[in-house]
């Protein structure tokens, strides 16, 4: 004979209540899966109850995920601030590495120091052309005294820069070419036709300013 359990059978209302609580748990887990950690379970059940213990475990899990999400958001914010700082520093470095000065009325000077690469070459060309237009300069002097070695790509860049300046109606002069660079340019067969060169920045300024005074004297 089967023994009968003394525990009362759950009523339909109790069963419906359990189903409702399970539905609440499933809905909350769906919110968590979508990234929403703002809600918590409030089943009002003791820890000894299976659903109560489950609810407490889920709430602890959500608290942990919410804390991790907050730490991740703070980390992303700090990272974005650092990246913004680096970008500002890089912009400042580019501006410092491309100092364009108006050394005389209508005469700009771009002294170049250091190693030329593709990115820096493009920045220099853009900055120089903008300055020529903004100041309505009649001459742009590119001083390469600070460059010790010049390869074919660098020489080609300066030629292109000079041609671009001439297209804007200004003259472009190259100064500070040392003997080693001069020999390299000749050996590489770089076409320097149309590019005016001077031994030093002083010689170029003397030529440009003397030409300007002569022009004014004829008027």
pLDDT digit string (tens) for 36-87? 888 888 877 787 888 888 888 888 888 888 888 889 889 999 999 988 888 8
pLDDT digit string (tens) for 128-154? 999 999 999 999 999 988 887 777 777
Task: Burial-class residue 170 by CB neighbours within 10 Å (0-12, 13-18, 19+).
Answer: buried
Determine the pLDDT at residue 150: 75
Mean pLDDT for 197-209 is 87
The percent of residues above 90 in pLDDT, for the chain, comes to: 16
The count of other CB atoms within 10 Å of the CB of residue 70 is: 11
Cα separations (Å) of 48 from 16, 19, 44, 54? 20, 18, 12, 10
C-alpha to C-alpha distance for 200 and 212, rounded to whole angstroms: 19
Q: Spell out the domain ranges in the chain.
A: 12-94, 101-218
Mean pLDDT for 168-197 is 83
Instruction: Confirm if 190 and 155 have CB atoms less than 8 A apart.
Output: yes
pLDDT digit string (tens) for 88-125? 877 666 666 668 888 888 999 999 877 777 777 888 88
Task: Burial-class residue 17 by CB neighbours within 10 Å (0-12, 13-18, 19+).
Answer: middle
CATH homologous superfamily of 101-218 equals STAS domain (3.30.750.24)
Determine the pLDDT at residue 219: 40
């Amino acid at each position: 004979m089967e023994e009968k359990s003394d525990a009362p059978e759950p009523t339909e209302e109790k069963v419906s209540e359990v189903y409702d609580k399970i539905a609440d748990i499933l809905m909350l887990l769906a919110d968590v899966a979508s990234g929403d950690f703002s809600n918590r379970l409030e089943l009002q059940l003791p820890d000894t109850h299976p659903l109560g213990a489950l609810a407490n475990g889920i709430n602890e899990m959500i608290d942990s995920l919410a804390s991790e999400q907050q730490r991740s958001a703070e980390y992303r914010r700090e990272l974005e601030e650092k990246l913004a700082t680096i970008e500002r520093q890089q912009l400042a470095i580019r501006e410092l590495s491309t100092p364009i000065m108006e050394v005389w009325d209508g005469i700009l000077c771009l002294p170049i120091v250091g190693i030329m690469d593709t990115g820096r070459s493009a920045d220099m060309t853009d900055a120089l052309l903008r300055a020529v237009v903004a100041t309505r300069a009649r001459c742009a002097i590119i001083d390469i005294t600070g460059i010790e070695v010049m390869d074919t790509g660098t020489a080609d860049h300066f030629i292109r820069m000079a041609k671009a300046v001439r297209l804007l109606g200004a003259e472009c002069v190259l100064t500070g070419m040392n003997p080693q660079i001069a020999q390299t340019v000749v050996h590489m067969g770089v076409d320097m036709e149309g590019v005016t060169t001077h031994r030093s920045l002083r010689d170029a300024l003397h030529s440009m300013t003397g030409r300007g005074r002569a022009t004014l004297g004829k008027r």
